[in-house]
Amino acid sequence: RKEVEQDPGPFNVPEGATVAFNCTYSNSASQSFFWYRQDCRKEPKLLMSVYSSGNEDGRFTAQLNRASQYISLLIRDSKLSDSATYLCVGFHAGNMLTFGGGTRLMVKP
C-alpha cells in the first residue's frame, strides 16, 4: 500500500463548481501535510500547508482528519486556471516529504 494515496481522476467540473479531493495516508507519525499544484510538464508548487486541523486561503480550504487519516482539499468557484494536478504530500521527521500520485482536475467552460 502506498503511504499517501489519491484518486488519480480526472475530475471534470464546470467553471464555477465546487470540487473536493481526498487523500489518505498510512503513516500515523506524519506531522503535517501539504497540497502542491503541478501544471502539465512543470514543477510542483506549494498551494497550501496543513499543520493542524485545517487551513483556508481564498477559494481553497484544506482539512485534516487525523482520526481517519485523511486530508481533503476543497476548491470553491472553480476557474479554468485551476486545471492542474494536485499533489497530496505528507511530512515526516528529517524533513522528508512523501508524495501521493496526484489528482488531475479539469475545469471546463
- 55 forms beta bridges with 62
Closest CB 105 distance from another protein, rounded Å: 16
Closest CB 15 distance from another protein, rounded Å: 27
Residue with Cβ nearer another protein (1 or 109): 1
Closest CB 67 distance from another protein, rounded Å: 23
Non-local (6+) Cβ contacts of 54 within 8 A are: 61, 62, 63, 64
Residue 107 φ/ψ region, left for φ over 0, alpha for ψ in the -120 to 50 degree band, beta for the rest: beta
User: What are the residues binding another protein (CB under 8 A)?
Assistant: 2, 4, 8, 32, 34, 41-46, 49, 87, 91, 95-97, 99-102
Distance, C-alpha 98 to centroid of its chain = 13
Residue with Cβ nearer another protein (42 or 59): 42
